[in-house]
Amino acid sequence: MPADSLRALAERIHVPLYHVQGVATFFPHFHLTKPPAVDVQVCDDMSCHLRGGDALHRTIESRVAAAGQTGVVVRGVSCLGQCDSAPAAAVNHAILSGLTPDSLAAHVDNALAGGALPEPEISTQRGGLAVDPYDGERTYQALRDLVATGNVADLIAAVKASGLRGLGGAGFPTGTKWDAVRHAPGDVKYVVCNADESEPATIKDRFLMDRVPHLVLEGMILAGIAVGARTGIIYIRHEYEAQIGSIRRELERCAHDGLVGPDVLGSGIAFDLSVFVSPGGYICGEETALFEAIQGNRAEPRNKPPYSATHGLWQKPTVINNVETFAMVPLIARRGPERFRAQGRGDSPGVKFVGISGHVASPGVYEIAMGTPVREVLDRAGGVLGGRPLKAFAASGPSSGYLPASMIDTPLDFRSLEAAGSMLGSGAIVICAEGTCMVDMALNAVRFYRNESCGKCVPCRVGTVKMVDILAGIAAGRGRREDLETIRDLSHAMAETSICGLGQIAPAPVLSVIKHFPEEIEAHLVRRRCPSGVCRIEG
């Protein structure tokens, strides 16, 4: 994005140049200088870290240097959303997964020679899931029923009765949110689908956009009609090229069939639906940062209150849910809240999609009953890779922290995981086999949060850097006992004073390792050794 182009853009849209430059420098997908001929970005985070990402990074760097390949730059990058086929990398922004040093080197050579990089694979499989109420029947029937009856109060009541909660992390009751937006004053309202999904190990929304895009869009349209919104936006991370294509094709079908547009199914109700492709950054998953990005600003979270139900996108009442939450709504509308609740176990209502990755034989996305124990998901995924003993697991990526193998029978539901000191979050299970260093895993997680902090608030901007420095010292054998007290004080300050969830949950992986794996902390601090032989102890 050359300087003269930014200047011309500022003049054309009548905004100050500093605003355009501020946005251009914020998002990782934008470049103010010409990128290298071959830009190699190797994923550094969680699942790839467990499946050889670091070795892949070092090896490709060495090969490029040894071959004297000028114009090739190798660097690390935050999670690329390919956790079920780790390790992954991007070459000139083309996402590649399931890599070996040889296969990545071949892609680099091909790109340097001007060859075409592989196109993203497009899934052709549709339906076949318990969440899909149609099973080969005519889709969008829930929407047709709502338009025919006009009874939006019954729809919201059904969503409330179902017990459906937000499935992107926060777990806020969906029906309550919709009801608040419906009764919020104002004629202009919005529906936003958060398909950013940038938390390491989180891949379920990608799966749903491939398999049941019709449920995602139908859930959004139902929400729009229910709350009185006339505009819907799907915010998708730019790395999901195949899924962007899948959603856009389904959207074209909706427009052709009159399911969206100025007159939905001849009802006189207008509902416009479009796709917004994210220019990158984990912070965009925070709802207010996402709003700011759509509005053309730096994706910096807002102070709360006010909340999105009254002051969301463009400061208007806004329903914002993630892909999985919207995909559940047609099932509730068609089958009723009681049948939805019955699909869960015990007091946990409904179905749930979880991704499982790391040291697991068959990583991927699995549809389960809410309340299913982690052990059953691990068994369905073929158990621990190579038959090794289980050491630890994260119930939902780095933000949930790590639990020991002894807690593998914990049910996957909001209440049980909260009682265990973890969280259901985005349903991203990460398996760590025996031989994994938990100090190293804590450092890897906190480094991700440091890299992805937007920098707006001091507790997060400075706290994540300090946390990485302390953990790096412990991992290198330079730690002191006082470091543990510093970590606790720092964690408390970040949790209490950070503006958004990133700073608030960044200490979670560190605190969980201190709690559940004290012997490993002790070994690094006192004996100056890594029991797993992973950390490079100085001296």
pLDDT surpasses 90 at 126: no
pLDDT at 20: 96
Question: What band does 123 get if pLDDT is binned at 50, 70 and 90?
Answer: confident
- Determine the Cα–Cα distance for residues 304 and 311; give it in Å rounded to an integer: 10
pLDDT at 350: 96
What is the average pLDDT across 20-33?
93
Token pair of 352, please?
Answer: 């749930």
> What residues pair up with 232 in beta bridges, in sequence order?
191, 273
What is the average pLDDT across 63-81?
95
Question: What band does 127 get if pLDDT is binned at 50, 70 and 90?
Answer: confident
pLDDT at 197: 93
pLDDT at 251: 98
pLDDT surpasses 80 at 302: yes
Burial class (CB in 10 A: 0-12, 13-18, 19+), 109: middle
Residue-by-residue DSSP string for 173-204: BHHHHHHHHHTSS-S--EEEEEE---STT--H
- Determine the Cα–Cα distance for residues 336 and 348; give it in Å rounded to an integer: 16
pLDDT at 120: 84
Question: What band does 248 get if pLDDT is binned at 50, 70 and 90?
Answer: very high
> What residues pair up with 42 in beta bridges, in sequence order?
76, 89
pLDDT at 84: 97
- Percent of all residues in the chain with a pLDDT value above 70, rounded to a whole number: 100
Q: Does domain 141-340 have CATH number 3.40.50.11540?
A: yes
- In this structure, how many other beta carbons lie within 10 angstroms of the beta carbon of residue 12? 8
Show the CA angle centred on residue 488, arms to residues 487 and 492, nearest 5°: 115
pLDDT surpasses 90 at 539: no
Q: What is the CATH number of domain 35-112?
A: 3.40.30.10
Domain range summary for the chain, segments of one domain joined by +: 35-112, 141-340, 344-433, 438-525
Q: For 263, phi and psi rounded to 5 degrees?
A: -150, 80
pLDDT at 234: 98
Give tens-digit pLDDT for 219-243.
999 999 999 999 999 999 999 999 9
What is the average pLDDT across 70-84?
96
What is the average pLDDT across 160-164?
97
- CA distances from residue 181 to 168, 304, 309 in whole angstroms, order as listed: 19, 16, 5
Q: Which residues contact 76 (CB under 8 A, 6 or more apart)?
A: 41, 42, 43, 44, 57
- Determine the Cα–Cα distance for residues 176 and 181; give it in Å rounded to an integer: 9
Residue 289: strand, helix, or coil: helix
pLDDT at 134: 95
- Percent of all residues in the chain with a pLDDT value above 90, rounded to a whole number: 95
Q: Does domain 344-433 have CATH number 3.30.1490.20?
A: no
Give tens-digit pLDDT for 426-463.
999 999 999 999 999 999 999 999 999 999 999 999 99
Q: What is the CATH number of domain 438-525?
A: 1.20.1440.230
What is the average pLDDT across 70-88?
96
